[in-house]
């Protein structure tokens, strides 16, 4: 396991209406850059959308997740970076 930590920071647990949610995450300053992947999955494990899949410099980053085309339900956001994996569940309500 890497000696750095990553975390998803979302301001709301549920998303109402046709808007979206901002997913904030930090690339630790102990690295210059790292490959980062942020993807959203439905509860059956199917990938719905990839929000980020590239090398990012150290610092804070935001990925916008638009929910307009999704059905109501629960989804899993998966952050992979620096050899670590973090997941968070969000709920879309219409």
Position 54 scores a pLDDT of: 93
Residue 28: is it exposed, middle or buried by C-beta count within 10 angstroms (0-12/13-18/19+)?
middle
The DSSP secondary structure of 25-53, one letter per residue, reads EEE-TTSSEEEEEEEEEETTS-EEEEEEE
Answer yes or no: are the C-beta atoms of 57 and 27 closer than 8 Å.
Answer: yes
Q: What is the pTM of this model?
A: 0.76
Mean pLDDT on 41-64: 90
CATH number for the segment(s) 8-93: 2.60.40.1930
> At 1, is the pLDDT very low, low, confident or very high (cuts 50, 70, 90)?
very low
Mean pLDDT on 17-34: 67
Instruction: Tell me how far apart the alpha carbons of residues 3 and 35 are, in angstroms, rounded to a whole number.
Output: 15
- The region, left, alpha or beta by phi > 0 then psi within -120 to 50, assigned to residue 51 is alpha
């Amino acid at each position: 396991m890497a000696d750095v930590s990553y975390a998803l920071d979302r301001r709301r647990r549920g998303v109402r209406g046709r808007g979206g949610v901002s997913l904030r995450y930090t690339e630790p300053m102990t690295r210059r850059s790292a490959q980062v992947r942020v993807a959203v999955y439905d509860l059956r494990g199917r990938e719905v959308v990839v929000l980020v899949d590239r090398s990012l410099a150290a610092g804070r980053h935001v990925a916008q997740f638009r929910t307009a085309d999704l059905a109501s339900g629960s989804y899993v956001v998966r952050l992979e970076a620096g050899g670590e994996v973090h997941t968070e569940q969000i709920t879309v309500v219409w």
